[in-house]
Amino acid sequence: MRNVEMMGSQKSTRIRVMILALVVGGLLMTVKFVAYFLTDSAAILSDALESIINVVASGFALYSIYLSDRPPDWSHPYGHGKIEYFSVGFEGALIILAAVAILYKAIPAFFISPLLAKLDVGIILILGTSVVNLALGLFLVRTGRRTSSMLLEADGKHLLTDVYTSVGVIVGLVLVRVTGWHGWDPLVACAVALNIIVTGWHLVKKSFGRLMDEAEPELLGRIVEILNKNRRPDWIDIHHLRARHYGEKVHVDFHLVVPRSFGLPDAHREAKQIEKMILDSLSEVVEVIVHVDPCEDPLCEHCLQAHCQDRSKEGRTTIRAWRIEEVVVKRVHRGS
């Protein structure tokens, strides 16, 4: 119940933050296009085009956050959380598309330099937008980490990349103003395009990783640490540990080996105790499923029970901590 209430509060926080990002992004995009029309700068256009991506991505992210928190139903028994990863991948693809548009505009400018005007006004406008983007980007990243939202964090990092873009544009415009060589303008625009291609690729890669249920060693390590810290002699071994993300929600499952003499009520009690332990310790985990296996002879040497009628080998006398690389695999001799 505590986890459900916490996630309800986190959902409202994420929605409010994304509405703020959408409104502010629209205002900043307008300012940048005003700066472009005043200066005819390819570098400023590159910044403005990236701002279009910010606004579109924020709108899609807002819808994704709303959809991801819908409860599971018959057609989506694990919920709708993975829409966030589609949103992150979509944002990364849009960033790459914007970079292509920037290059399309900037490369010809090396050969036919446009007549730049009102550079001082353009510099001031872009400087103002970069300060606002910096504050908003840091706020989104911090809120995303606090609410366990990869989507908010990705959007924040995108805005921070936009800040780097704006700073590069400002530097280019200052160089044009000081040196009089207009080639600085398309040169900066091309550098910006290459930089945001890298950012877009990282977002797409991260999105695919979550969609493909890529393992997260840090989270698995925390789960193993909890189990080691509270380990009991009846927990002979664990294996096939997995964690799957659905947005900010995490589902965990693994196999627990208990003594062969355990009855069904005893095995069920141990499983429920472990499930509650993990749920109480990790706020992002909403479901834990423990599959109970009976002990088999090859595991006797791992057993801590001193008196066991089914033992075929001598067991351990001291607890040996479980390690991630051992518990994530499924042993073939267990037949489960």
- pLDDT of the residue at 88: 78
- pLDDT of the residue at 254: 92
Q: What is the 3-state secondary structure (H, E, C) of 127-196?
A: HHHHHHHHHHHHHHHHHHHHCCCHHHHHHHHHHHHHHHHHHHHHHHHHHHHHHCCCCHHHHHHHHHHHHH
Tell me the C-alpha distance between 248 and 273, whole Å: 24
Pick the more confident residue, 194 or 102: 194
| Of the candidate ranges 40-54, 140-154, 307-321, the one whose mean pLDDT is the lowest | 307-321
The answer, yes or no, to whether residue 319 has pLDDT greater than 70, is no
pTM of the shown model: 0.63
pLDDT digits (tens, 9 = 90+) for 103-154: 887 788 777 766 677 888 888 999 999 999 999 989 988 888 887 777 788 7
The answer, yes or no, to whether residue 302 has pLDDT greater than 70, is no
Q: 333: pLDDT confidence band, cut at 50, 70 and 90?
A: very low
- pLDDT of the residue at 284: 78
- pLDDT of the residue at 290: 92
**Closest Cα to residue 115, out of 44, 39, 36?**
39
Average pLDDT score over the chain:
80
User: Length of the chain, please?
Assistant: 336
Domains with residue ranges and CATH for the chain? 2-211 (1.20.1510.10), 217-334 (3.30.70.1350)
| Cβ pair 237, 319 in contact under 8 A | no
Q: What is the mean pLDDT of residues 187-205?
A: 83
Classify residue 54 as left (phi > 0), alpha (psi -120 to 50) or beta: alpha
Q: Which range among 57-66, 267-276, 289-298, 301-310 has the greatest average pLDDT?
A: 267-276
The answer, yes or no, to whether residue 1 has pLDDT greater than 60, is no
Count the Cβ atoms, other than its own, within 10 Å of residue 327: 19
Alpha helices in the chain (DSSP H): 2-39, 42-68, 83-109, 119-146, 150-179, 184-211, 217-229, 264-281, 324-327
The answer, yes or no, to whether residue 252 has pLDDT greater than 60, is yes
- Give the Å distances, CA to CA, from 243 to 119, 148, 203, 204: 53, 15, 21, 21
- pLDDT of the residue at 34: 92
Tell me the C-alpha distance between 119 and 174, whole Å: 8
| Cβ pair 113, 83 in contact under 8 A | no
